[in-house]
Structure 1
């Protein structure tokens, strides 16, 4: 199973402590069915048709002051049609002071509101009403954690990755609090890891220390510009993204895994995440 490596190192450039842990490097794999062939027989794994479920993905960005919510319905397990986009839903954001803000529909299941005043340390409630059912989730917004610097190092090809430069992310973990992170990686301003290989980790055992993260899931070549966004997320969002890991570790013949843990009520899939972020860029030079 591929994974990114978090190192704490001490060298002439910094005073990071030497250690290593695995972060949750998520590979989102959809395996609808498995056929095992032999010269004697064929084994079919049966999967039941699933009823459509509401899927809500809400992201509240602190720096942009923007909330975007995408609402859809899952299709039949074996269906060929894309997910149905949910229109005419009622979507609201509620602040800690009780202020209720309407989120405007933009079409194709997208609901968006800009220029929102949101504040770190506060908890926000997102409510979406689809038909006669109301779905609610809460998320706490944390202060952004600054990226100290980016580096890179060349690694040869192995069984998991092509040869190339891997990005090294350096930051100092805030002390006296539990922190959860998600990392987005861009190559020449193209996002590389949105759904297929989400990177999330926490600071267990590393609180208040200097941390180096080797982002080995993506490779770069000389002349590329790498940009890294490090999002400070809350535990609910972290749990949602890390449970994707279970879907990547399905053994042949095992029951289908449970859905990723959602923070929405009434059986909706998806997540609501309020987050702040820091970003830095670096040009790969040979």
Structure 2
């Protein structure tokens, strides 16, 4: 697995805050550093943050190089906005992001131009969220499980991600990366559960249920395959060398994603 170094660089960036394409396999014996661009837009008023860096060579233990001399433009509707550098490879722009909008990001670094596009979809509401005690079976421990229910829109492909905080702490272990599509439940009422996790009475979970576009799903799905753990991706956590599918042009790594979302709080009780 010569690609592990690059993959793990992406995992750290991806958790702070994901048409058939070929997964990029990199010859790490002689591989040149690659540009990595991570950017997320959330629905509503907030700062969009763009992170630009370079992957470290395979046998170099130094941190990834932060790129602070990029020129970045965000384009949407009839607007073009410069995204200013705020230091340490980060660029920020205050935006009021709205559903139904396609956002285009252009990043120029060292004479090269990288572009990506993402669409802000409508919010999919959480109908209910709750906990229930369940007996263990196989590797699954007995304990309180947490579920949410939502109505999937019919006759259109939909892609989701579920994130959560436990007692105020964002959960970002590899097994916490959960993405879904509606291939098997189009138009149905769907119940999603944190089935591999057991919780205790008194635990508080803040759920964030994300609706995003297919390229975003592809990124996090293939990332899930690479890091393993029974995976949410199409290969089910198989050992898949390479890097997550990126929607960036010009062979850059990373992703540009627009998130619409709903939230719910669950307090585990007997």
Q: Is the shorter-chain TM-score for this pair beyond 0.5, marking a shared fold? A: yes
Residue 129 of structure 1, CA deviation: 1.1
Matched, 1:221 2:200: yes
- Structure 2 CA distance, aligned partners of 1:186 and 1:164? 18
Q: Partner of 1:220: helix, strand, or coil? A: coil
Structure with the higher fraction of residues in strand conformation = 1
**Cα distance, 1:222–1:268 mapped onto 2, change above 3 Å:** same
2:178 aligned residue? 199
Q: How does 1:19-58 map to 2 (within 5 A)?
A: 31=4, 48-58=29-39
Q: Partner of 2:225: helix, strand, or coil? A: helix
- Retained in 1: the 8 A contact 2:45–2:97? no
2:83 aligned residue? 103
**Cα distance, 1:155–1:78 mapped onto 2, change above 3 Å:** farther
TM-score (norm 1): 0.76
1:10 aligned residue? none
- Retained in 2: the 8 A contact 1:150–1:281? yes
- Retained in 2: the 8 A contact 1:63–1:277? no
- Structure 2 CA distance, aligned partners of 1:48 and 1:126? 32
Q: Which one of the candidate residues 87, 92, 95 is aligned to 2:73?
A: 92
1:276 aligned residue? 260
RMSD of aligned residue pairs (Cα, Å): 2.2
TM-score (norm 2): 0.81
1:182 aligned residue? 161
Q: In terms of mean alpha carbon deviation, does 215-224 or 258-267 score higher?
A: 215-224
Q: Partner of 1:193: helix, strand, or coil? A: coil
Residue 49 of structure 1, CA deviation: 4.4
**Cα distance, 1:107–1:152 mapped onto 2, change above 3 Å:** same
**Count of residue pairs the alignment pairs up:** 238
Structure with the higher fraction of residues in helix conformation = 2
Residue 160 of structure 1, CA deviation: 4.4
Q: How does 1:241-280 map to 2 (within 5 A)?
A: 241-247=220-226, 248=228, 249=237, 257-280=241-264
Matched, 1:171 2:150: yes
**Cα distance, 1:219–1:90 mapped onto 2, change above 3 Å:** farther
1:38 aligned residue? none
Residue 118 of structure 1, CA deviation: 2.8
- Retained in 2: the 8 A contact 1:54–1:71? yes
- Retained in 1: the 8 A contact 2:164–2:205? yes
- Structure 1 CA distance, aligned partners of 2:29 and 2:177? 28
Q: Partner of 2:195: helix, strand, or coil? A: strand
Q: Which one of the candidate residues 132, 151, 155 is aligned to 2:130?
A: 151
Q: Which one of the candidate residues 59, 64, 75 is aligned to 1:83?
A: 64
- Retained in 2: the 8 A contact 1:60–1:67? yes
- Structure 2 CA distance, aligned partners of 1:178 and 1:142? 12
- Retained in 2: the 8 A contact 1:184–1:194? no
- Structure 2 CA distance, aligned partners of 1:144 and 1:196? 25
Residue 204 of structure 1, CA deviation: 1.2
Structure 2 unaligned regions, length at least 5? 6-26, 229-236
Structure 1 unaligned regions, length at least 5? 1-29, 33-45
Matched, 1:70 2:51: yes
- Structure 2 CA distance, aligned partners of 1:91 and 1:194? 31
